[in-house]
Amino acid sequence: MKPQTFFAVCPRGLEPVLADELQRVGAAGIHAESGGVGFTGTLKAGYAANLHSRIASRVLWQVGRRGYRNEQHLYDATQEVRWQDLMTPQQTLRVDVTAVRSPLASLEFAMLRIKDGIVDRMRDVAGDRPSIDRAQPDVRVFAFLDETTVTLYVDLSGEPLFKRGWRAEKGEAPLKENMAAGLLALAGWTPEVPLLDPFCGSGTIVIEAATIASGRAPGLNRRFAFERLKGFDSHAWRTLKDAARAGVRDDARAVLRGSDISTRIVEQAVENARLAGLEGWLADGRLAFAACDARQVEPPADHGMIVSNPPYGEQSAPRSATVPRMMADVGDRLKQAFAGWDAWLLTSDRDLPRQMRLQETRKPVLYNGPLECRFFRFALVKGGYRPRAGAAG
Ligand SMILES: C[S@@+](CC[C@H](N)C(=O)[O-])C[C@H]1O[C@@H](n2cnc3c(N)ncnc32)[C@H](O)[C@@H]1O
Q: Which amino acid is at 359?
A: Q
Closest-CA residue, ligand 1 atom 23, reads: 261
- 270 DSSP assignment: H
Answer whether residue 166 shows pLDDT above 70.
yes
Q: How confident is the model at residue 357, as a pLDDT?
A: 95
pLDDT at 167: 76
CA pair distance 313, 276, nearest whole angstrom: 30
Instruction: Write out pLDDT tens, residues 333-383.
Output: 999 999 999 999 999 999 999 999 999 999 999 999 999 999 999 999 876
Across residues 222-251, what is the average pLDDT?
A: 96
pLDDT at 47: 98
pLDDT band at residue 393 using 50, 70 and 90 as cut-offs: very low
pTM of the model as a whole: 0.94
Residue 365: predicted pLDDT: 97
Burial readout 133-144 (b: 16 or more C-beta within 10 A, e: otherwise): eeeebbbbbbbb
Task: Calculate how far, in angstroms, residue 254's C-alpha sits from the geometric centre of ligand 1.
Answer: 23
In the chain, the percentage of residues whose pLDDT exceeds 70 is 94
pLDDT for 98-134, tens place per residue? 999 999 999 999 999 999 999 999 999 999 999 999 9
Question: At 139, phi and psi to the nearest 5?
Answer: -130, 130
- By most ligand atoms within 8 Å of CB, the mutation choice from 166, 167, 170, 172 for ligand 1 is 172
Cα–Cα distance measured from residue 382 to residue 378, given in angstroms and rounded to the nearest whole number = 13
- For residues 76 and 84, what is the distance between their CA atoms, to the nearest angstrom? 16
Q: Looking at residue 392, what is its pLDDT?
A: 46
**Which segments of the chain does DSSP mark as H helices, in order?**
15-24, 43-52, 71-79, 107-126, 177-187, 204-213, 234-246, 263-275, 279-283, 322-337, 352-356
319 pLDDT exceeds 70?
Answer: no
pLDDT digits (tens, 9 = 90+) for 244-280: 999 999 999 999 999 999 999 999 999 999 999 999 9
Mean pLDDT of all residues in 225-253: 96
145 lines ligand 1 (CB under 6 A): no
Mean pLDDT of 205-234: 96
Is 265 near ligand 1, meaning CB less than 6 Å away?
A: yes
> How far away, in angstroms, is 184 Cα from ligand 1 center?
17
Q: Residue 204, Cα to own-chain centre: how many angstroms?
A: 11
Per-residue model confidence (pLDDT) at position 384: 61
- Distance CA(231)–CA(296), nearest Å, equals 57
pLDDT recorded at residue 153 = 98
Which positions ≥6 away from 107 have C-beta within 8 Å? 97, 99, 145
> For residue 157, what pLDDT is reported?
98
| CA separation for the pair 206, 186 (Å, rounded) | 15
DSSP structure string for 227-253:
GGSTT--HHHHHHHHHHHHHT--TT--
| Residue 16 C-alpha from the chain's centroid | 13
Region at 41 (left for phi over 0; alpha for psi -120 to 50; beta for the rest) = left
Three-state secondary-structure class, residue 72:
helix
- Position 391 scores a pLDDT of 52
Q: What is the pLDDT of residue 172?
A: 65
- Provide the pLDDT for residue 171: 57
Give whole-number Cα distances, 374 to 54, 238, 308, 349, 363, in Å.
20, 40, 12, 8, 6
Rounded to 5°, the CA angle 142-118-2 comes to 65
Give 164's pLDDT tier (boundaries 50, 70, 90).
confident
pLDDT of residue 301: 97
Strands of the sheet with 365-368, listed across from one edge: 287-291, 256-260, 195-197, 305-308, 342-347, 371-379, 365-368
| Ligand 1 centroid distance, CA of 324 (Å) | 14
Helices (H) and strands (E) in the chain, counts: 11, 15
What's residue 35's pLDDT? 94
Task: State the distance from the centre of ligand 1 to the C-alpha of 366, rounded, in angstroms.
Answer: 19
**Which among 297, 283, 285 has a CA at the least distance from the CA of 335?**
297
Query: Taking residues 302-311, what's their average pLDDT?
Result: 96
| Predicted local confidence at residue 385, as pLDDT | 63
Amino acid, res. 123: R
Residue 315, pLDDT score: 53
Instruction: Pick the atom of ligand 1 nearest to 315's CA.
Output: 1
pLDDT score, position 317: 46
Q: What is the model's pLDDT at position 197?
A: 98
Per the DSSP assignment, residues forming a β-bridge with 342 are: 305, 379
Sign of CA dihedral 360, 361, 366, 368: negative
Confidence (pLDDT) at 312: 80
- The residue-averaged pLDDT of 124-146 equals 96
pLDDT score of 386 more than 80: no
CB 29 within 8 A of CB 39: yes
